[in-house]
Amino acid sequence: MLSQHSESKTGKNTDADFMADHLLHQLHRLQQKHRHIPPQLIAEVARESGLPVSQVAAVVNFYSFFYQQPVGRYHLLFSNCTSCGYQSGEVNLLALLCQRLNITPGQMRTDGVASADETSCIGMCDHGPSALVNGVPIVNLDEDRIRQLCDLIAANQSPDDWPADWFQINNHIHRPGLLLNTPLQCGSSLEKALVGDALLMLESIVQSGLRGRGGAGFATGKKWLFCREAEGDTRYVVCNADEGEPGTFKDRVLLQCHADALFEGMTLCAYGIGAEKGFLYLRGEYRYLLGHLQAVLRRRYDSGLLGASILGQAGFSFDIEIVVGAGAYICGEESALIESLEGKPGIPRIRPPFPVTHGYLGRPTVVNNVETFIAAAHIICYGSDGFSAVGTEKSPGSKLLSVSGDCQTPGIYEYPYGVSIQQVLDDCGATQVQAVQIGGPAGSLVAKKDFNRRISFEDVSTGGSFLIFNEKWDLLSINRNFARFFAHESCGFCTPCRVGTRLLENSIGKIADGRGTWRDVDGIKQLSGIVSRYSHCGLGHTAANHILDSLQHFPGHIRNVLAQQSFTPAFDLDAALETARQLTQRDDADAHLK
């Protein structure tokens, strides 16, 4: 295990210092080398790590970016998000690529050259149809680019030599506000915090009214105080940079443009709660940012802003380690993230106890997201009064929105809390809008009549996703996409979610295919209640939100496609006998159901 305190021969921190040999990293290296992780390698990793084979096998099986069967030398994963998905106009880009390369989705071509499949949102919603090529995002895909890409694969050209603009990720900040418009000098917040004691700094966070920017909105200052006061001598700070909600990409931009402020916010938290170790948990889709983040960490160590005796303060030491995920939406839930940090499948814990008292390795732990830590750094630098003067009484400060979908200028927009949905639509150039999905599939589907509602914790809360759908969309197709997303991303721990999300997906599909009745609608309502009420964690609790919102605000979209019969079978009974007819070589009338 590499120590965070180790140095290279030059006395400088190395990239390895910021990435200890975590189980996820070991498995990623094997995946890169062998293009899959077979049982014998699982056993080898277990032996070298001193872990049970069952634990390593469970981790490999849990994360979607680990494969137990080989993938191609060129492995492409197309996003199936409604904003950065593989549908470009009338063209299905995934189908086009598979046709040109003679690939079956989900299977490696027999010569081992290529494979392709789809994956959940990769956080490129402001860049149009996008995909991961051997883990690296490629954006702005269209029919012509897919044809060129196929030609390059056929010519065995390395992705390193493909056109650079295909991999150009822009930030698209269209409306900066309180955080994005205010520069933060490296170390400025820490210098101000160290003038007083830790409790004084924590009081500033409390007075500001800062609430977690992930969507739940728990008071940040109180969380930090609870952790400081919890029993135990060892505490941890964890940054949740695993934004996986479809339509959310603000953290991607913050990690690129404001990593210093993020690490400063984590260090302030460490000072406040008495922690000496922190983790940045980076989603696997953002692995391409790893080198940049390591460079920022290196500068901060060299400047005395991390490590031992920070800014000369005796007894104040803090180190940050980066752990990169491997494709699991559920790891955005804080207890699942902690499980993943501990080298286990990211299955949410039963709460209470909460992480502030029993978090990483059972020790008191603060978990906040990227935007929250950056806001904390600004509060300490510029004061709590200026922060609380912006926004609303119950929702002070500003909110970054990831705006995408049917608008002229998708990208990042920062507003004071309390901005109306209509104002956001006007600013991004959205017209003929029938609905906005706020907070991702787990959030709220808002109809046109409610566009005067406000983005705030007391009205429409969001972690940052703002998906726009114009009048050309069939909202049932949106429901179908979201239902499929939840069914795919369920961790499988509890029956209500594991089975319920799959049943919801099937029921929505049946209605969308024109085979549904009002009985199916009643069944969806009943099933939604069960999934929401009895699921183990937030994924199941919110999995039916988009369906219930559609039934309430857009009943016509469902009513118009319902079959008139009081009952219609969920499958074709006669078609189900086709295999038997082929085996018996019969196709007469008696071999068919009348």
CA dist 75 and 80 (Å) reads: 16
Helix axis angle, 198-208 relative to 220-229, nearest 10°? 150
Q: Which residues lie closer than 8 Å to 77 by C-beta, 6 or more apart?
A: 116, 117, 118, 119, 122, 131, 132
Phi-psi region of 412 (alpha: psi -120 to 50; beta: other; left: phi over 0): beta
Token pair of 66, please?
A: 């680990």
Does residue 573 sit in the same domain as residue 445?
Answer: no
1 within a domain of the structure (yes/no)? no
141 within a domain of the structure (yes/no)? yes
Closest alpha carbon to 337 in 311, 364, 369: 369
pLDDT in tens, the chain (594 residues): 223 333 332 334 555 567 779 999 999 999 999 999 999 999 999 999 999 999 999 999 999 999 999 999 999 999 999 999 999 888 999 999 999 999 999 999 999 999 999 999 999 999 999 999 999 999 999 999 999 999 999 999 999 999 999 999 999 999 999 999 988 999 999 999 999 899 999 999 999 999 999 878 899 999 999 999 999 999 999 999 999 999 999 999 999 999 999 999 999 999 999 999 999 999 999 999 999 999 999 999 999 999 999 999 999 999 999 999 999 999 999 999 999 999 999 999 998 999 999 999 999 999 999 999 999 999 999 999 999 999 999 999 999 999 999 999 999 999 999 999 999 999 999 999 999 999 999 999 999 999 999 999 999 999 999 999 999 999 999 999 999 999 999 999 999 999 999 999 999 999 999 888 888 899 999 999 999 999 999 999 999 999 999 999 998 888 888 875 555 566 677 787 888 888 787 888 888 876
Residue 159 structural domain:
74-170
CA dist 478 and 318 (Å) reads: 45
Strand 433-438 relative to strand 465-470, pairing: antiparallel
CA dist 67 and 61 (Å) reads: 8
Looking at residue 10, its pLDDT comes to 30
Secondary structure tally for the chain: helices H, strands E: 23, 16
546 within a domain of the structure (yes/no)? yes
Q: Which residues lie closer than 8 Å to 400 by C-beta, 6 or more apart?
A: 179, 180, 213, 250, 254, 371, 412, 413, 414, 464
CA dist 345 and 355 (Å) reads: 17
36 within a domain of the structure (yes/no)? no
Does residue 138 sit in the same domain as residue 201?
Answer: no
153 within a domain of the structure (yes/no)? yes
Name 365's bridge partners. Answer: 236
Does residue 589 sit in the same domain as residue 514?
Answer: yes
Sheet arrangement for strand 277-282: 319-324, 277-282, 236-241, 365-369
Q: Pick from 128, 145, 170: which residue ends a domain?
A: 170
Does residue 548 sit in the same domain as residue 421?
Answer: no
Does residue 364 sit in the same domain as residue 283?
Answer: yes
Closest alpha carbon to 550 in 525, 570, 576: 525
CATH number of the structural domain spanning residue 428: 3.10.20.600
CA angle 114, 247, 29 (to 5 degrees): 40
Q: What is the pTM of this model?
A: 0.91
Q: Pick from 450, 472, 494: which residue ends a domain?
A: 472
Does residue 125 sit in the same domain as residue 183?
Answer: no
CA angle 305, 308, 314 (to 5 degrees): 100
Q: How far apart are the first and last CA of the chain?
A: 68
Token pair of 215, please?
A: 């969507």
Does residue 370 sit in the same domain as residue 414?
Answer: no
Does residue 366 sit in the same domain as residue 225?
Answer: yes
259 within a domain of the structure (yes/no)? yes
Does residue 345 sit in the same domain as residue 261?
Answer: yes
Closest alpha carbon to 272 in 320, 361, 169, 200: 200
Preceding omega of 176 cis (within 30 degrees of 0)? no
Looking at residue 591, its pLDDT comes to 81
516 within a domain of the structure (yes/no)? yes
Number of domains composing the chain: 4
Does residue 440 sit in the same domain as residue 564?
Answer: no
Looking at residue 6, its pLDDT comes to 34
**DSSP codes joined into one string, 1-24:** ---TT---TTSSPPGGGGS---HH
Looking at residue 589, its pLDDT comes to 83
CATH number of the structural domain spanning residue 107: 3.40.30.10
Closest alpha carbon to 78 in 121, 127, 32, 142: 121
Does residue 198 sit in the same domain as residue 300?
Answer: yes
CATH number of the structural domain spanning residue 178: 3.40.50.11540
Looking at residue 9, its pLDDT comes to 28
Q: Which residues lie closer than 8 Å to 338 by C-beta, 6 or more apart?
A: 238, 349, 355, 359, 360, 365, 367
CA dist 47 and 537 (Å) reads: 33
Looking at residue 570, its pLDDT comes to 62
Does residue 495 sit in the same domain as residue 592?
Answer: yes
Q: Which residues lie closer than 8 Å to 212 by C-beta, 6 or more apart?
A: 218, 220, 223, 368, 369, 372
Q: Pick from 136, 170, 204: which residue ends a domain?
A: 170
Helix-, strand-, coil-residue percentages of the chain, each rounded to 5: 45, 15, 40
| AA letter at 324 | V
Preceding omega of 353 cis (within 30 degrees of 0)? yes
579 within a domain of the structure (yes/no)? yes
